[in-house]
């Protein structure tokens, strides 16, 4: 017998929203830290750092998120960590977000008029002061809109975590659609 889709099912699905939000927040936090590092490396004067950042962005923007999830999921075991859908989803989404945010913020940093950086140089500011007090605050204003846009995309992307067995909104909806009264499914 197929179970009715009633209030309990709706509550079950809505409660799973908390995992979607938690996963999105963790991915965004991890992605923000990683993305800032990638963006700074991408505009750095060091050739090696630039090359690493370009490679990182290329690989993560050029492969499906689903594959990234699979690789992290099965790769955790190889480096000796327990196979855990939560950890895998968080790590993969954070890396994915780092690549996209890195590229977005790289653009924002480069959109700050070059005179600003030159003025900071002329005032003999060091790298940290130049970035922290002159360039990044101006870049942040430019970055606000595209970052919000990506955040929406990231929240939608967390639905893929259901494929590696993480119970969030999409998975909760799927398990409501396949009732336990039929054990074959």
51 binding other proteins? (CB under 8 A): no
- The full length of the chain comes to 185
14 binding other proteins? (CB under 8 A): no
- DSSP state for residue 130 in the 8-state scheme: I
Token pair belonging to 23: 């996963």
Site for other proteins in 127-156 (CB under 8 A): 152, 156
Look at residues 17, 172, 39, 20 and name the one whose alpha carbon lies nearest to residue 89.
20
Binding residue count for other proteins, defined by CB under 8 A: 31
Among 12, 25, 77, 133, binds other proteins (CB under 8 A): 77
Cβ proximity to other proteins, 40 vs 103, nearer residue: 103
CB 34 within 8 A of CB 28: no
170 binding other proteins? (CB under 8 A): yes
Name the site residues for other proteins (rule: CB under 8 A): 58-59, 61-68, 70-71, 74-75, 77-81, 152, 156-160, 162-163, 170, 173-174, 177
């Amino acid at each position: 017998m197929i179970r009715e889709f009633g209030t309990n099912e709706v509550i079950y699905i809505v409660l799973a929203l908390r995992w979607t939000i938690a996963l999105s927040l963790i991915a965004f936090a991890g992605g923000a830290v990683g993305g800032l590092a990638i963006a700074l490396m991408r505009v750095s004067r060091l050739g090696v750092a630039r090359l690493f950042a370009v490679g990182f962005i290329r690989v993560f923007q050029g492969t499906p998120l689903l594959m990234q999830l699979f690789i992290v999921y099965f790769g955790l075991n190889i480096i000796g960590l327990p196979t855990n859908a939560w950890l895998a989803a968080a790590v993969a989404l954070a890396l994915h977000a780092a690549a996209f945010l890195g590229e977005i913020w790289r653009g924002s940093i480069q959109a700050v008029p070059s005179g600003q950086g030159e003025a900071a140089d002329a005032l003999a500011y060091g790298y940290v002061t130049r970035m922290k007090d002159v360039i990044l605050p101006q870049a942040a204003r430019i970055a606000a809109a595209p970052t919000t846009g990506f955040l929406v995309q990231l929240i939608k992307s967390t639905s893929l975590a259901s494929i590696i067995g993480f119970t969030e909104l999409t998975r909760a909806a799927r398990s409501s659609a396949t009732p336990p009264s039929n054990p074959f499914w």
